[in-house]
Amino acid sequence: MRDILKMIIVLTIIGAVSGLALSLVYEGTKAPIEYQTIKFVKEPAVKKVLTGYDNDPIADRKKIRIGEDERGTPIELIIFPAKKAGATFAVALEGKGKGFGGLIGVMVGVSKKGTVLDIGITSHSETPGIGARVSETFFTERFKGLTTDREVTVDGISGATYSSKGVMSAVTQALGYVTTFSKEIF
């Protein structure tokens, strides 16, 4: 009995101390990790979907509140504005859609009029060679010119229906944000 008690106590203490240490490290690295993911994952996509701006969309990024989860923590969306002579004429923002292997993150460039300029895939876990082809240009350019007032539909890639639909729903989500929060975004 004493042995069992000792085992339980020791394991609990080790687990608790580890958990505490990890939560401290997590808090400490949260900001640099966010910066790194923006720099290495979002920046190439933002640069791809926006053109003709004279500001730095990464430095000028702003966060808008799009709701809150069940615990009351605000859910934030990062907006990358493209400005010319100080006026925002387009923004890039990320939408997520369920693909074949999980969520697909899509950066969507939208003009002030609500037209899709271009899209870029930021993260996905689709099958290499099949679903992963959604990140190739021949597919992403099919989204150019879609508008916020119509349903997002393009020809999917044969053999990669789920992945194609995932990208479409991600774009739909991003455009939905633009419509709902247009005042905050532009």
Partner 1 sequence: MSITDEFTKGLWQTIPPFRLVLGLCPTLAVTTSGINGMGMGLATTFVLVFSNLFVSLLRRFIPSQVRIASFIVIIASFVVIVELVMQAYFYPLFKILGIFIPLIVVNCIILGRAEAFASKQNPLASLADGLGIGLGFTISLFVLGCIRELLGSGTLLEIPVMWSSFEPFTFMLKPPGAFVALGILLATMNLISQVQARKGGGR
Q: Under a CB-based contact definition with an 8 Å cutoff, are residues 76 and 141 in contact?
A: no
User: Which x/- pattern over 38-67 shows residues binding partner 1 (rule: CB under 8 A)?
Assistant: -xx---------------------------
153 binds partner 1 (CB under 8 A): no
Terminal CA-to-CA distance of the chain, rounded, Å?
A: 67
Query: Which residue matches tokens 């532009």?
Result: 186
Nearer to partner 1, 22 or 137 (CB): 22
11 belongs to the binding site for partner 1 (CB under 8 A): yes
**125 binding partner 1? (CB under 8 A):** no
Residue closer to partner 1 (CB basis): 31 or 85: 31
CA distances to 42, 77, 128, 133 from 136, rounded to whole Å, are 16, 25, 12, 5
User: Does position 128 bind partner 1 by CB under 8 A?
Assistant: no
DSSP 8-state class, residue 133: G
Count of residues that interact with partner 1, criterion CB under 8 A: 19
Q: Among the candidate windows 24-32, 45-53, 58-66, 173-181, which touches partner 1 by CB under 8 A?
A: 24-32
> Rounded to whole angstroms, how far apart are CA atoms 140 and 145?
11
The DSSP line for 96-111 is EEE-SSSEEEEEEEEE
Please report, as ranges, the residues that interact with partner 1 according to CB under 8 A.
Answer: 3, 6-7, 10-11, 14-15, 18, 21-22, 25-26, 29, 32-33, 36-37, 39-40
